[in-house]
């Protein structure tokens, strides 16, 4: 852990509160932050001390002009923004002005119940473009109802990958199986290489607080499970994962918490992005942000980590 900042906590711009941030992504010199309130924030690039300021915000709406439950973002090579909503779920493409350009195809079983098998509050929580921008991966926050938990109570989640076709549009390509620690859910994902991803797992228990873990996921050798009806009932070659860090084991660094936490540094961390900075020792800088749920007992906190991936 390199440091943290609570500079954004309970701030606002032109009366719009900065909060409920669930995803981060860079777009040139700006840091974009997606809010659960269906707002896309543009922030100044954080300084070395993690000071950042909101400079603009933009409503995120669907084709009918209605708010969405925005959760994740990726910036495509043409500057358009790919943003997930977990209530359908969907991945929509927006131009820089916030207009919907198109939507990506989503397999029927990924639709929320009762139409499909997804939990209404547990679908496309993470989204990332793989290097080269030819493939896009979304991660499910929770398992599909047909997949459920394994014998140890671990979640049997799915990743879905789209590949870019000759017309530049994305088409569904493959699905992968990924085990999530019992009691946790996937909050975000970021590409490390064409086959490796950084996965953020998060959980919360009343009276205890948050558990936040980072895993490296390796797609190489993982089976396409698109035609597998139940991950619980069918043995498959899952995505291999390796624990990179348990954030609760980091030094608190003088952080304070407004509710019980095993480490006062922790809060409801939901989003992350690589900054592009390479640090000594072969490490890369990773920014993370917590979602305060607009609660007086939670904090919008920005974190900087040095990770070797």
- Report whether 71 contacts 27 (CB < 8 A): no
d(CA 110, CA 119): 9
The dihedrals phi and psi of 278, each to the nearest 5 degrees, come to -100, 130
pTM attached to this predicted model:
0.97
C-alpha count within 13 angstroms, C-beta hemisphere, residue 217? 28
Q: What is the pLDDT of residue 112?
A: 96
Q: What is the pLDDT of residue 196?
A: 99
**Boundaries of every domain in the chain:** 20-244
Strand-pair partners of 185: 202
Buried b (16+ CB within 10 A) or exposed e, 75-89: beeeebbbbbbbbbb
CB atoms within 10 A of CB 95: 12
Q: What is the pLDDT of residue 62?
A: 97
Q: What is the pLDDT of residue 213?
A: 99
State the residue for tokens 């205890």. Answer: 208
Q: What is the pLDDT of residue 88?
A: 94
CA proximity to 21, closest of 73, 74, 91: 73
d(CA 189, CA 124): 11
CB neighbour list of residue 51: distance below 8 Å, 6 or more residues apart: 5, 7
Q: By 3-state DSSP, what share of the chain in percent is helix, strand and coil, each rounded to 5?
A: 5, 50, 50
CA of 258: how far to CAs of 18, 35, 88, in Å? 18, 21, 33
Return the SS3 of 73: strand
* Residues in the chain where the model's pLDDT stays below 50: none
d(CA 255, CA 5): 9
CA proximity to 190, closest of 25, 41, 20, 33: 25
d(CA 257, CA 3): 15
Query: Cis omega before residue 212 (within 30°)?
Result: no
- Report whether 100 contacts 93 (CB < 8 A): yes
Task: Write out the CATH class of domain 20-244.
Answer: mainly beta
CA proximity to 29, closest of 13, 53, 8: 53
The pLDDT tens digits for 249-264 are 999 999 999 999 999 9
Encode 18-63 in three state secondary structure: CCCEEEEEEECCEEEEEECCCEEEEEECCCCCCCCCEEEEEECECC
The dihedrals phi and psi of 142, each to the nearest 5 degrees, come to -130, 165
The pLDDT tens digits for 139-148 are 999 999 999 9
């Amino acid at each position: 852990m390199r440091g943290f900042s609570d500079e954004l906590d309970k701030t606002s711009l032109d009366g719009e509160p900065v909060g409920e941030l669930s995803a981060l992504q860079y777009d040139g010199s700006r840091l974009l932050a997606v809010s659960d309130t269906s707002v896309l924030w543009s922030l100044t690039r954080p300084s070395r001390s993690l000071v950042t300021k909101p400079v603009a915000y933009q409503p995120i709406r669907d084709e009918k002009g209605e708010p969405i439950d925005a959760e994740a973002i990726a910036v495509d090579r043409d500057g358009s923004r790919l943003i997930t909503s977990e209530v359908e779920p969907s991945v929509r493409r927006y131009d820089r002005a916030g207009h919907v350009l198109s939507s990506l195809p989503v397999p029927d079983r990924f639709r929320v119940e009762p139409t499909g098998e997804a939990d209404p509050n547990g679908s496309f929580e993470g989204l990332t473009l793989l290097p080269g921008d030819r493939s896009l991966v979304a991660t499910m926050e929770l398992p599909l109802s047909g997949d459920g938990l394994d014998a140890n109570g671990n979640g049997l989640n799915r990743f879905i990958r789209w590949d870019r076709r000759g017309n530049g549009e994305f088409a569904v390509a493959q699905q992968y199986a990924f085990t999530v620690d019992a009691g946790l859910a996937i909050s975000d994902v970021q590409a490390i290489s064409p086959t490796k991803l950084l996965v953020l797992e998060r959980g919360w228990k009343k009276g205890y607080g948050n558990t936040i873990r980072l895993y490296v996921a390796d797609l190489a050798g993982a089976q396409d499970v698109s035609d597998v009806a139940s991950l619980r009932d069918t043995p498959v070659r899952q995505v291999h994962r390796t624990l990179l860090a348990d954030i609760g084991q980091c030094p608190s660094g003088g952080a304070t918490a407004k509710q019980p936490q095993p480490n006062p540094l922790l809060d409801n961390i939901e989003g992350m992005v690589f900054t592009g900075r390479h640090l000594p020792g072969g490490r890369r800088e990773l920014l993370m942000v917590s979602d305060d749920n607009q609660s007086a007992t939670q904090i919008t906190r920005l974190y900087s980590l040095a990770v070797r991936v």
